[in-house]
Structure 1
Amino acid sequence: MKYFYSLLLVLAVTQLYSQETINGSIIDEDTKQPIEFATVYLPQLEKGTITNQNGEFTLEGISQGSHNIIVSIVGYQTASQNITYPLQDQLIIALKPSAIEMEEVIISTPFHKLQSENVMKVERANIKALQQQGAVNLSESLTSIAGVESVSTGVSIGKPVIRGLSSNRVLVYAQGVRLENQQFGDEHGLGISDAGIESVEVIKGPASLLYGSDALGGVLYLNPEKYAPVNSSVSNIEGKYFSNTKGYSTNAGYKSSGDNLKFLFRGSLAEHSDYKTEDYRVTNTRFREQDFKAGIGYRNADFKTDFRYNVNHSKLGMTDGIGVQNTNRTPLLPYQDLTNHIFSLQSTSYFENSQLDYTFGYTYNDRKEFEEHHDHDHHEEHDDHEGEEEHHEDELHLANEEGVLEPALHMKLKTANYDIKYHFPKTDKIETVVGIQGMNQTNKNYGEEQLIPDATVNDFGILATSHIHFNAADIQIGARFDTRNIDVNSGINKNYNSFNGSIGVKTNLTESTIVRLNMATGFRAPNLAELTSYGSHEGTNRFEIGNSDLKNEQNIQADLTIEYGNKHFEFFANGFYNKVNNYIYLTPNGELVNNDPVFLYLQEDAALYGGEIGVHLHPHPIHWLHIETSFESVTGKQDNGANLPLIPANSLTNKVRVEFDKNQFHNGYAFIKLKTTFKQNNTSAFGTATDGYSLLSAGIGGDFNIWNTTLGVSVSGSNLTNKSYINHLSRLKSDGIFNMGRSVNLGLNIIL
């Protein structure tokens, strides 16, 4: 309720200025002819419209000062232009014809520019386009982005990996606030559904300057779906079926916007049975996920605010190996029962040529893990799948007969954070942002087992960054200071401080060639698990012992990016070198406790290096044909010569995609993709090599207009050859369990 009252207070004190108007027109740069249906958008004000048949547009409710205006339409290069209101003359913007995909504004960086204007390299992907490739969950979808992989536990749990770094070295943002869901655990997933998420932005490198601790390896920034256009309403129902897991996902949403007030909501449900390989089903990889998202926003010429809420409830089975073979969807013991709440309030006050952004967030993660209660020294043996199925079902039945089943592990993590940034008045040469960020986090235990103790974490950071425009180049510099206090009820009290900076330059070698060079430092304070763990965990099957003497991880990374693009050909090459001091890692000491191997947290300096390279061809005059090839590689080693764990294997992806629009069939597409993952021999001390493999996938889809309703249909297939393989980042690899086999997926989306 405090967020609701804060919203009312802000609205009450905000002055309502007169609604000012911008009139303009969009034309073709070559023919000078007007362009109809072009999208005109002011990202800072979140105002947009579409040009009429004469290429004309009108935008109302514009405050005085400097604004960035974005114009985009298929078949043309996206245009970005700074304007100062009031205008002296009518605005006329000319677009260059191009077959390159439209650019979008990057939200995860402070200056909200197109990627072509950014000094820092940021990858952006549309979630709908990722879903078209048939992934079961969000984490798997993200692996289609070059440089991003996933540490998986079956198909229900995935942890993103950016250039070899994972766990809470990769910070995830959702609804504009950091996602805190006890992500330090190896078998802890994202805890968020892709329903109601529009796009993802990936910063591949230290982003501690912008986000503080836990952004040492990079950031995944999830952008929620936008509200409906002004004075309109949109609703849709979507469903998908996955043949491999005999599973489904469905979601429905409604959104409506007036001149100032707007709202939306979306609910989703997904259920899957155990996934199937060529020879067997992997017992207890089944899961159920329920998700609800809602938002309400308000804006006028000088103020905007957006309140969002998301609750996600998941029940995830944790496999013990190959046993019962059926397609039931109710998880067996052991399983996780997770509820994650995210509240966020993002607001902006606009002044003449400057603005103040302030974001407040609260996340509440309730984690329960249920397991068999048995004597660790006496395990009942089962000779066949039939006996094991009876054993599992009896245990579940007995648990239900007891009434409310008590969790063995039960933790509640509550996090409140704030992010306040002031954008100084822009000049022709420089843009500057200063800000403060902070977090208060409490962890409490309620179960019979305690993996980490009760604790409180407090963060505070202050930052400043500037984007400087020169004729030949753009430069971005910044600095930040952070402090973190960790107070553990067992008596440990730790303080961590870090000063970080970044500098980058972007220049156009030619009209078609962009070069970016960035250097940045980052840090990560040890998490509660690394400092205080002492116990066995059902999800990891190991006894972990924390180390209270751990120091900050501190890194410095250099990135070099070269991009070339014309109307029909694109090329990119990204290279990086990442030096990490005091890298924290787990290693076994050869002992056993309750039949679980003992793992210790240690530190050693390390380095990671590699990159991505790719080409994209859309030949003239067949602009509807896209041929894409990309290669990605990362190597991670400690200074003592040992390989780092969980480093993804090198991979090569080839994809052919066609796009078409004919009669009543719109936004049509078809693709075929072959991803080859090479053998991974560079393994850590307790790891083993992983063989290479190739996976074939394909899909087709598009939209039909029927009775004033848009009907979207899609069909996709993954691992079409039903290849038996093991991904090097699969947590089931140590048990020799294969990843998912062939799956054919059907999708239907009705837009009303």
Structure 2
Amino acid sequence: MKKHIIVLFLGLSAMLQAQNTLSGTVTDLKNQPIKGVSVYASELHKGTTTDENGKYTFSNLPNRNLKISFTFVGFATQNKTINSLQKENTLDIILEEAIFEMDEVIVSTAFNKIQSQNVMKVEHESIKNLQRKGTATLIEGLATIPGVSQVSTGTSIGKPVIRGLSGNRVLVYSQGVRIENQQFGDEHGLGLNDSGIESVEVIKGPASLLYGSDALGGVLYFNPEKFADANTFKANFSQKYFSNTAGSSSSLGLKTSTDNWKYMARGSYNTHSDYKIADGDRVTNTRYNETDFKTGIGYSNAKFSSVLRYNYNELDLGIPEDGIADQTISKKTGFPKQGVFNHLLSLNNVFFFEKSKLDLDLGYVANDRSEFEDSDVAVLHMKLKTFNYNAKYHLPKMGKIETIVGVQGMHQTNTNSGEEYLIPDAVTNDFGVFGTANYEWNSNVLQAGLRFDNRNITTDAQGIAGEEGSFEAIDKSYDSFNASLGYKTNLTDDLTLRLNVASGFRAPNLAELTSNGVHEGTNRYEVGNSDLETEQNVQTDLNLEYKTDHFEFFVNGFYNHINNYIYTSPTGAVIDENAVFDYIQNNAKLYGGEVGLHFHPHPLDWLHFETSFETVTGEKQNGDYLPLIPANNWNNTIRTEFKIKNWLEDGFATLNVSSTFNQKNVSGFETESNGYNLVNLGFGGTVKLGKTAFDVNINGNNLFDKRYIAHLSRLKTDGIPNIGRNIVLGVNFNL
């Protein structure tokens, strides 16, 4: 690895560089220059800002097509492609005032189109907007996106649910590489901190064509924060306080860039006490502490762009076992507890050729997970090490057809060193090859692709056959062919239609193949099945969007059929007072969707009303309901935007009412859930005091201290409510 890095950062930098430049002026419709417009070339990780005359300049650009985006608050984003860059290039831009959100470039899909040109509907949300909602964790923020929910254990552990599918059926990407951290366990969180993350993209549906196994239900794709603009130095410090958990979150970031080199580092620390429910009692041992460190170095010239990033995340998590017992605001975790250490190293490269390019992403993920019952000696200790690679070659464009071919793979080892085993020592190898093409004419886009994958899993024998904690050795190989077909068209100038049909797959995970014991938190004895087959699904998605200057409306519908859906079923036997459950398979279906609108009445330019409704139903072939299906939700927000003289800019105030309905469609092992309404308030903006400026936001979540139990809470079986009222105060200083 060291030799490869030296070659990329030193050897290739000696190659002949083209001295191509791009410059221009950004103005408004009145021909007035706009200062502070962000001009960004995502492929080069290079950005700049317009000066007081609206002028910008880029240098050391490649001899090929290049995408540039121009963004400024209050104006519509302009995304331009410069074809066949010459030695000197000029591009002047006129920005128009805009009311609705910017049209973002979507990174998680194959061709990196802006959303209005994208065949697949992808939800894009900036982390800044999620943080403005006052959520305590990254997964809490994600759960506010229509179609996304979470399986939670208190406030510290949350797992994403996309349209009723979770665990290994949802793939998570960060820094351009897939995250592997024992996703099979409901008590295993994401292991990601929202500091140092720019935005998230959510693919709601099978994405196996691009990502292989485990993308059967969808993808969460986290984009890291951008480097500083060329020839600048930036530092910022943020601090948050959470009243409910007496918690705090601190983050310090530093970054600087030259024309070619880029550097950044960010450290964060979160600490929380046990959370309070509506009557004021605290749920014992839901406290947790998190340390996060991110750093990156990048280099780009006319021939290639390369970015090396590293993320260290350490979690000290209390496991609630006694319900509401000791009442304390201590942040020192008690027993039982988890200690989780995540290391993520990524190397993202783009090699530019005259009419084509090669994307090469390499990743290494080390997940070290320990569980402590009553002492500092871990009874469970698992180490998961994963190396993955992803190479995509963008062929020269043929007329209006863009084509990508690629290979992906993964080598993964799981080892145990504790006295207890949840899953055996194992080795997993993935290999996939795919091709996809995009054909665009007028306002129409047609996209299709095909892929083949193989996954091989081998495990070691452990213990005495027939006894708890013993595993038989297995050697399994799984193959899968998948395809996708999508069409996007503008039915009118304001109405867009998207129709997608795609297949996905998921190979059985180690827990489903090998389990032989009581899985922590389930209170049941689980028995794996080494004869399980690959889950295979086909999903149809329909998206309609209507947009005018003052009104947006969307409706998403989906139908998802899954063959060989894997789930647990009771056998009727009991071992050590625990009911025995086998892993079995059956065909299943999920269907539902999301609908919403955003209304901005003219001439009340400061007022916005947003509403959305989401629903999903999951059923087995015999008509029984699937487990862990989120309840229907109706979300309403009134938002105002304002400026107060010269001391508060980009001001906002929000009133949100989130209505969750009864969930009566439950599997045989779940309990029904009652509906509830939560009221949330938010206020903030950029405060200017002389030469000092900082962002501030104040949020009141669950303002009326509602006592409720979410259907997907893992504490529901013990009758423990979710978090009560929480006042959040956050400040962010650009130093």
TM range (shorter): over 0.9
**Cα RMSD between the aligned structures?**
1.6
Q: 1:135–1:588: structure 2 CA closer, same or farther, 3 Å change rule?
A: farther
Q: How far apart are the structure 2 equivalents of 1:5 and 1:364?
A: 21
* 1:197–1:224 Cα contact (<8 Å) kept: yes
Structure 1 position 688, deviation (Å): 1.4
Q: Distance in 2 between matches of 1:13 and 1:678?
A: 60
Q: Which residue of 2 aligns with 1:379?
A: none
Deviations 1:59-81 (A, max 9, x none): 21121121222222233322223
Shift of 1:116: 0.8
Q: Which amino acid aligns with 2:271?
A: E
From 396, 405, 430, the counterpart of 1:425: 396
Equivalence map 1:329-478=2 (5 Å): 329-372=331-374, 399=375, 405-478=376-449
Q: 1:136 to 1:589 in 2, by over 3 A?
A: farther
User: What amino acid does structure 1 have at the position aligned with 2:584?
Assistant: L
Aligned position for 1:383: none
- Contact 2:569-2:583 at 8 Å conserved across structures: yes
Are 2:47 and 2:228, in contact at CA under 8 Å, matched by a contact in 1? no
Q: 1:533-582: per-residue Cα shift (whole Å, max 9, x none)? A: 11123333322111111100000001000111111111110110000110
What does residue 711 of structure 2 align with?
A: 728
**CA displacement at 1:219 relative to structure 2:** 0.2
Q: Any residues of structure 2 matched to 1:632-647 within 5 Å, and which?
A: 632-647=614-629
Question: Which residue in 1 is equivalent to 2:11?
Answer: 13
Between 83-92 and 475-484, report the one with greater CA deviation: 83-92
CA distance in 2: counterparts of 1:599 and 1:309, whole angstroms: 40
Deviations 1:251-280 (A, max 9, x none): 111111111111111111111111111232
CA distance in 2, matches of 1:95, 1:195: 30
| 1:473 Cα offset (Å) | 0.8
Q: Supply the distance in 2 between the matched residues of 1:712 and 1:630 (Cα, whole angstroms).
A: 28
Q: Match for residue 226 of structure 2?
A: 226
CA distance in 1, matches of 2:287, 2:577: 26
Partner of 1:292: 293
Cα drift, residue 137 of structure 1: 1.0
Residue 65 (structure 2) aligns with? 66
Measured in 2, the distance between the counterparts of 1:110 and 1:441 equals 25
Aligned to 2:44: 45
CA-CA distance at 1:699 after TM superposition? 1.0
1:575 aligns to 2:557 (yes or no): yes
CA contact (8 A) 1:66 1:426 kept: no
How far off is 1:587 after superposition?
2.5
| 728-737 vs 535-544, which moves further | 535-544
Please say if 1:648 is aligned against 2:649. Answer: no
Q: For the residues of structure 2 that align with 1:49 and 1:444, how far apart are their CA atoms?
A: 46
Structure 1 counterpart of 2:730, which letter?
G
Residues 1:737 and 1:608: Cα distance change in structure 2 (over 3 Å): same
Could you report, residue by residue, the CA deviation over 1:105-130 in whole angstroms, capped at 9, with x for unpaired residues?
11111211211111111101111211
Select between 455-464 and 656-665 the one with higher mean Cα deviation: 656-665
Structure 2: any 5+ residue segments left out of the alignment? 462-472
CA contact (8 A) 1:442 1:454 kept: yes
Which AA in structure 2 matches 1:646? L
Contact 1:151 1:161 (C-alpha < 8 Å) held by counterparts: yes
Q: Give the whole-Å Cα distance in 2 for the aligned partners of 1:33 and 1:258.
A: 29
1:488 aligned partner: 459
1:511 matches 2:489: no
Q: Deviations over 1:482-520 (max 9, x none)?
A: 000000112200000000010101111111111110110
Shift, 1:197, TM fit: 1.1
Instruction: Give yes or no for contact 2:45–2:227 (8 Å, CA) kept in 1.
Output: no
Using the TM superposition, give the Cα deviation of residue 711 of structure 1 relative to its aligned residue in structure 2, in angstroms.
1.7
Mapped pair 1:626 → 2:624:
no
Q: 1:522: how far off?
A: 0.2
C-alpha deviation, 1:428, in angstroms? 4.6
Residue 35 of structure 1: how far off its partner (Å):
4.2
Match of residue 214 from structure 1: 214
TM-score by length of 2: 0.95
Distance 1:633 1:61 in 2: 49
Deviation, structure 1 residue 89: 7.3
Counterpart selection for 1:554 from 533, 536, 539: 536
How far does residue 31 in structure 1 lie from its aligned partner after superposition? Answer: 4.5
Query: How far is 1:166 from its partner?
Result: 0.2
Q: CA deviation at 1:247?
A: 1.1
- 1:704 aligned to which of 659, 677, 687: 687
The residue type equivalent to 2:477 in the other structure is N
What is the match of residue 593 of structure 1? 575
| Cα distance between partner residues in 1 of 2:492 and 2:41 | 28
Does the 8 A contact of 1:187 with 1:540 survive in 2?
no
Q: Residues 102-141 of structure 1: matches in 2 within 5 Å?
A: 102-141=102-141
Q: Sequence identity of aligned pairs in percent?
A: 54
Is the 8 Å Cα contact of residues 186 and 540 (structure 1) preserved in structure 2? no
- 684-693 or 80-89: bigger deviation: 80-89
SS of equivalent to 2:422: coil
Q: Secondary structure at the match of 2:62?
A: coil
CA distance, structure 2, for counterparts of residue 39 and residue 234 of structure 1:
15
Aligned 8 A contact 1:251 1:269 in 2: yes
Answer whether contact 2:231 2:259 (CA < 8 A) is retained: yes
Of 505-514 and 532-541, the range deviating more from structure 2: 532-541
* Number of residue pairs the alignment of both structures matches: 718
Give the aligned residue type for 1:257. S
Q: Find the counterpart in structure 2 of residue 308 from structure 1.
A: 309
- From 511, 526, 531, the equivalent of 2:508 is 526
Q: Distance in 1 between matches of 2:66 and 2:654?
A: 39
Q: Which SS does the other structure have where 1:235 is aligned?
A: strand
2:674 equivalent among 691, 694, 698: 691
Contact 1:169 1:215 in 2 (8 A): yes
Given the superposition, is the C-alpha separation of residues 481 and 559 from structure 1 closer, same or farther in structure 2, using an over 3 Å criterion?
Answer: same
Distance 2:574 2:249 in 1: 41
2:466 maps to what in 1? none
Match of 2:517 in 1: 535
CA distance in 2, matches of 1:319, 1:260: 50
Q: Distance in 2 between matches of 1:53 and 1:233?
A: 19
